[in-house]
């Protein structure tokens, strides 16, 4: 499996444990069926959290890699006119990301949610493909309304190295 796909699954896993609200579909872009509530007809239902990780790129030092993951929370505008539901989803996901970052910053890979996050990744990719290096926050996605959906997003960057390079 590819590393971005494994990272998408890891974010989906730890977000599922948060209090994100009733009926929220979590869409790990490369593994849509990993959320049992997803259906191909229709493909996109709201409220949803969409997780998409881009291909790896090298860090400035040219010896480590990073994957940027966009985590977008969205509701239908007509169902969430005052944006309270999408805001509550954002609060829950921001807290998950804050706790993930805090566990990284304190240096304890056994603290939750970092331990669960890394366990999902290690269960999906070979150990030579992923040696965790850290987390940073990327550019956030300001709230917007597009095609009848309210949305807001967080970008998390996962840094890692590979022993097979």
- Mean pLDDT, rounded, of the chain: 91
Portion of the chain with pLDDT greater than 90, in percent: 75
Residues in the chain: 165
> CA–CA separation, 127 vs 89, rounded Å?
33
The domain in which residue 61 lies consists of 3-161
| Local confidence band at 165 (pLDDT 50, 70, 90 cut-offs) | confident
Query: Does the pLDDT value for residue 42 go beyond 70?
Result: no
Angle in degrees, CA 37, 43, 48, rounded to 5:
60
Query: Which residues are CB-neighbours of 151 under 8 A, at least 6 positions away?
Result: 72, 73, 74, 86, 141, 143, 144, 145
Quote the pTM value.
Answer: 0.92
> How many domains are there within the chain?
1
| Local confidence band at 131 (pLDDT 50, 70, 90 cut-offs) | very high
Report the CATH number at residue 24: 3.30.2000
Q: Which of 158, 165, 164, 163 is nearest to 59 (CA)?
A: 158
């Amino acid at each position: 499996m590819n590393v971005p796909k494994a990272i998408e699954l890891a974010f989906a896993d730890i977000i599922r444990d948060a209090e994100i609200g009733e009926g929220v579909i979590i869409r790990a872009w490369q593994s849509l069926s990993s959320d049992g509530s997803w259906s191909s007809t229709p493909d996109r239902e709201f409220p949803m959290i969409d997780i998409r990780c881009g291909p790896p790129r090298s860090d400035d030092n040219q010896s480590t890699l990073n994957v940027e993951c966009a985590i977008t929370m969205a509701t239908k505008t007509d169902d969430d006119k005052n944006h309270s539901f999408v805001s509550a989803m954002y609060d829950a996901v921001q807290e998950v990301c804050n706790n993930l970052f805090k566990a990284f910053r304190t240096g304890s890979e056994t603290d939750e949610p970092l331990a669960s996050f890394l366990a999902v990744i290690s269960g999906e990719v070979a150990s030579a493909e992923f040696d965790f290096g850290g987390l940073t926050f990327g550019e956030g996605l300001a709230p917007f309304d597009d095609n009848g959906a309210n949305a807001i997003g967080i970008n998390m960057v996962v840094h890692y190295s590979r022993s097979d390079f």
